[in-house]
Amino acid sequence: MPAVSTLHGSHEVPDGKVTGLGLYVTAAEAYEMWKDDPERVKVLDVRMVEEYVFLGHAEGAVNIPVAFPKYQWHADKRKYGFELNPDFIDHVKEVFKPDDTIVAMCRSGGRSAFAINMLAKAGFTKVYNIIDGFEGDTVDDLESVYHGKRMKNGWKNSAPWTYDLDPTKVWIPTGEELEKLRSTLDI
């Protein structure tokens, strides 16, 4: 069954990427916003640290994962599960103010929508969902060698990105947070 989409301004937004704030941009638009005013427009990457480090990220993006891998296979969904980052809101508040203009991304726009809804409940008011995320949407062309791959739109296909790391922009659990995470994940 195809995903249902709704028109929000000039963007067709699939239901799984809709946020309570109703603010949407494509990766290309988010890049232009950031490029035009990098002091005012902040980039929040809510993907897992492994995605941020090994798949690349937007230059200047701050990585605060909204969830961690659970390492339990869900055969019915054909994927591994996630465990929410219990400190997500607290860590976002350490880096951003509730009235900052933030463009948020994950792989393809679903987790970032979830994160934005959490942030809205915590008082954030200007958080845009990058609806095509970092990797973009999948190619739906049976004749293409990229069929089923995330090779259209998305930050990685629309704007400059890097593998270069700045440890001040990557959230890694330490001390008590790491112990709490280990106990939550049963590892």
List alpha helices for the chain, DSSP H: 27-36, 49-55, 88-95, 110-121, 154-158, 175-185
pLDDT for the residue 152: 86
Q: Are 30 and 153 in contact (CB under 8 A)?
A: no
Backbone angles phi, psi at 26, to 5 degrees: -85, 170
pLDDT for the residue 78: 86
Higher pLDDT, 187 or 137: 137
Task: Map out the domains of the chain as residue ranges.
Answer: 5-182
For residue range 15-29, list pLDDT tens digits in order. Answer: 999 999 999 999 999
Angle at 162 between CA 160 and CA 167, to 5 degrees: 135
Higher pLDDT, 65 or 178: 65
pTM, full prediction: 0.88
In this structure, which topology does domain 5-182 adopt according to CATH? Oxidized Rhodanese; domain 1 (3.40.250)
Mean pLDDT of 42-65: 96
Give the integer Cα–Cα distance in Å for 127 and 114: 12
For residue range 147-166, list pLDDT tens digits in order. Answer: 988 888 999 999 999 999 99
- Given pLDDT bands bounded at 50, 70 and 90, which one contains residue 174? confident
The answer on pLDDT for 168 being more than 80 is yes
Give the integer Cα–Cα distance in Å for 64 and 172: 8
